Amino acid sequence: MKRIIFSIFSIVMLGFVAAQLAWMQVNNNGFGDENNSSTFSMAVYDGNLYVGTENYTGTEIWKYNGRTWSQVNTDGFGDEDNSGTFSMAVYEGSLYVGTENDSTGTEIWKYNGTTWMQVNVDGFEDKNNSGTFSMAVYDGYFYVGTENDSTGTEIWRALPTQSPATQSPATQPPVVERAGMEIGLIDMAEVIVAIITAAGIVYSAESRKTKQKKIKKMNILMVVFIILLIISLFDLGSQILFPRLDVSLPNTPSAIDADGILNIQVTVSSKGDPVSNAKVLLKTEGGWFEDTETTQTSGSTTKDGAFLAAWHPFDPSAYTEPVRYTFEAKASKSFCRSGSGRITVVINPKDVRPPSIPKLMSPVNGETISNQPINWSFDWSDSTDDDSGVNCYHICMKDPRGRIQVSTNVAESHYTYTRGGYIREENLNDWTWKVRVQDNEGNWSEWSESRTFNVSPRSPVYQFVGTWKSEDPETSGITRVEIRIDQDTIFVHMWGKCQPTDCDWGEKTTSISDAVDGTIELTWHQERCVRQQELSILSDGQLQICEHTYFTDGSSQFNCFTFYLVEEENGYCLGTLFVALLVLGGVLVPLKHRK
């Protein structure tokens, strides 16, 4: 007996000694840079080991393939204020790291094995979130924890970039297990037999030393051993004669929305061959909800031992967070042939939460914007929606009388309002605008705050715009003037008296900024003279052109001419109306005579 105890003690001590680890350094100090003072994070990604350093010149990420080290990022990701990598995690097939940045806030970087990409706003829009010290994946979501010495640590969650409902069974395989006699005796019997056999060997050795004093007890153990062995052989024979049923749930989505329907497919086979006429029962946390039989003759839905069923959440509004359900399918062919399979499905809540309310940026409250040209730009912040994403923005703009001038949806957080003409004096002040946002589920946010802006008075230079004709039909000078404005440039086109048609002088340009005093100055270089003109608007609304003409013979003269504005639109409308009446009369009169 003492020898046995000593042997057991020796084995225990040997295991204790073997449990001590042998250590060896596998990198050069600081990876060759003494500024790499610490290693705060490690993770295994794509079969390689990654470590992150603390370095005041910029954190470094090093990859180890079991033989050599290589740096896989630029120092500090291009910013030396990223002084340390304090956390690492693998999520959705990519490596994520969190930095320490006391200047602009912590940064989260994503690595796909080739390139890096920042996936958060610095500090999550708060520079006091200076570091990301922990990362974890839980229930399909990615979580990070920050250091914030001002207002306290913050936990941020990222949504999956791929909806679980769209992932293939290859990426999220269902959990399948067999039931029936497999859970029964053979595995347990083998374990018990092994234990009793070992106990029998020890007991036999001890019995010999004690000169067969406990043979009676040994006989009892041997009987138990023989009984278990018979049971094991019987179980093995039953599996040969009555093989178990393999039950799986392929092509069943791993997630649905709370207002959706889950289509469940169950297949029943044995040794790779489909089994028909097997009774299938489906169960979830709510109890059994299907009791039917598969058959290969009742339609395509049950072909090759397959069974289809549908299930939907009973109260979609009750789901405010993702909930996991385990569905179990049990199949039986006879009293001794059965099997089961399981799959876990995530029920995602229906998106009823609206997106974040946008914040108006420009024009700022009370700002004065241009009258002519009317090319107004409106900007606001991007909204977020963690559930279904942002679909569009809706901008509404009203004039001082409360009339809606703009009410439209746009895809981006920017809108440009452009129109011709100008804003009249009585409508210059107290324009209003606001914005709201819609997500992809049709949920609208509340309206943003309403802001006001004013429109600058119309520049006097726009009084020149139009077509002008001479007041004197018998003039020998300028007969017609056309003036237009495009952006910041004034275009002046003139015609002079000639026979049989007026002479086209061409077009001159000048800047609006050169006409701020209400006059336009032009110089025309012609074959026999040079004309210097000053254009102005008289109090009665007429255009006056005063010009000095310097002839090539040395003489000169000074003249002023007045012009009236041609109301082209009214004339066009009256002319069109007159022609329309003539045409209508020409059509109606013949019809009357036909009758």
Q: 């079991």: which residue's tokens?
A: 66
Q: What percent of the chain has pLDDT over 70?
A: 73
Terminal CA-to-CA distance of the chain, rounded, Å?
Answer: 137
The span from the CA of 448 to the CA of 556, in Å, is 66
Decide: 70 and 62 in contact? Cβ < 8 Å.
Answer: yes
DSSP β-ladder status, 431-439 and 478-486: unpaired
Position 335 confidence tier, pLDDT thresholds 50, 70, 90: low
Token pair for 371: 């009258």
- Alpha carbon separation from 330 to 186, 291, 342, 350, 391 (Å, rounded): 21, 10, 9, 30, 44
Strands of 253-352, DSSP E: 255-257, 262-270, 273-274, 279-284, 287-293, 306-311, 323-334, 337-348
Tell how strand 451-455 and strand 367-369 pair up: parallel
Q: pLDDT band for 141, please (50, 70, 90 cuts).
A: confident
The predicted structure's pLDDT at residue 188: 47
Whether the bond into 473 is cis, omega within 30 of 0: no
Instruction: State yes or no: pLDDT of 46 exceeds 60.
Output: yes
What's the pLDDT score for residue 424?
A: 82
DSSP string, 132-167: EEEEEEETTEEEEEEEETTT---EEEE--SS-GGGS
Phi/psi zone of residue 304: left (φ > 0), alpha (ψ -120 to 50 degrees), beta? Answer: left
Does the domain at 246-348 match CATH 2.60.40.1930? Answer given as yes
**What is the phi/psi pair of residue 221, to 5°?**
-65, -35
Q: How high is the pLDDT of residue 348? A: 77
The 8 Å CB, 24+ separation contacts for 308-314 are 308/263, 308/264, 308/265, 308/266, 309/263, 309/264, 309/266, 309/282, 310/261, 310/262, 310/263, 310/264, 311/261, 311/262, 311/264, 311/282, 311/284, 312/260, 312/261, 312/262, 313/258, 313/259, 313/347, 314/286
Judged by DSSP in three states, 209 sits in: helix
Q: State the Cα–Cα distance between residues 572 and 575, nearest whole angstrom.
A: 5
Q: What is the per-residue pLDDT for 452?
A: 96
The answer to whether 443 touches 350, Cβ cutoff 8 Å, is no
Could you tell me if 72 and 91 are in contact, meaning their C-beta atoms sit under 8 angstroms apart? no
In this predicted structure, the answer to whether residue 147 has a pLDDT above a threshold of 80 is yes
Say if residue 379's pLDDT is above 70. yes
> CA 148, CA 327: separation in Å to the nearest integer?
43
Q: What pLDDT, on a 0 to 100 scale, did the predictor assign at position 167?
A: 36
Q: Choose between 425 and 21: higher pLDDT.
A: 425
Angle, CA 306 vertex, CA 179 and CA 329 arms, to 5°: 30
Q: Domain 30-161 falls in which CATH fold?
A: Neuraminidase (2.120.10)
What's the farthest any 2 CA atoms get from each other in the chain?
155
Sequence-distant (6+) residues with CB within 8 A of 196 are: 221, 224, 225, 228
Strand order in the sheet with 451-455: 367-369, 451-455, 431-439, 390-398, 404-410
Gap between the Cα atoms of 60 and 286, Å rounded: 52
DSSP state of 444: B
Sheet bearing 489-496, strands edge to edge: 503-511, 489-496, 478-486, 466-470, 556-565, 543-551, 529-537, 519-525
Q: Can you state the angle between helices 215-241 and 186-209, rounded to 10 degrees?
A: 160
- pLDDT at residue 230 is higher than 80: no
Number of C-beta neighbours around residue 518 at 10 A: 13
> Domain 461-569 falls in which CATH fold?
Lipocalin (2.40.128)
CA distance 540 to 530: 29
State pLDDT tens for residues 189-202: 445 555 555 555 55
Fold equal for 246-348 and 360-458: yes
pLDDT of residue 21: 65
Mean pLDDT within 280-306: 52
Closest CA to 125 of 142, 148, 159, 91: 148
Q: What is the pLDDT of residues 65-118, one digit of tens each?
A: 988 899 999 999 999 999 999 999 999 889 999 999 999 999 999 999 988 989
Is the Cα dihedral 46, 63, 74, 88 positive or negative? positive
Q: Report residue 235: phi and psi, to 5°.
A: -65, -40
Residue 223's pLDDT band (boundaries 50, 70, 90)? Answer: confident
Lowest model confidence (mean pLDDT) among 1-5, 69-73, 183-187, 358-362: 183-187
Whole-Å CA distances, 468 to 482, 504, 506, 565: 6, 15, 15, 5
Length, in residues, of the chain: 595
Mean pLDDT for all residues in the chain:
78
Look at 348 and 554; give whichever has higher pLDDT: 554
Burial class (CB in 10 A: 0-12, 13-18, 19+), 340: buried
Residues 6+ positions from 192 with CB-CB distance below 8 Å: 228
pLDDT in tens, 161-207: 544 333 333 233 333 332 333 333 334 444 555 555 555 555 555 55
Alpha-carbon distances of 593 from 179, 244, 543, 580, 582, rounded to whole Å: 98, 99, 53, 21, 17
Domains of the chain, residue spans: 30-161, 180-241, 246-348, 360-458, 461-569
Query: By the 8 A CB rule, do 123 and 108 touch?
Result: no
**pLDDT value at position 203?**
53
CATH of range 360-458; options 2.60.40.1220, 2.30.40.10, 1.10.730.10, 3.20.20.140? 2.60.40.1220
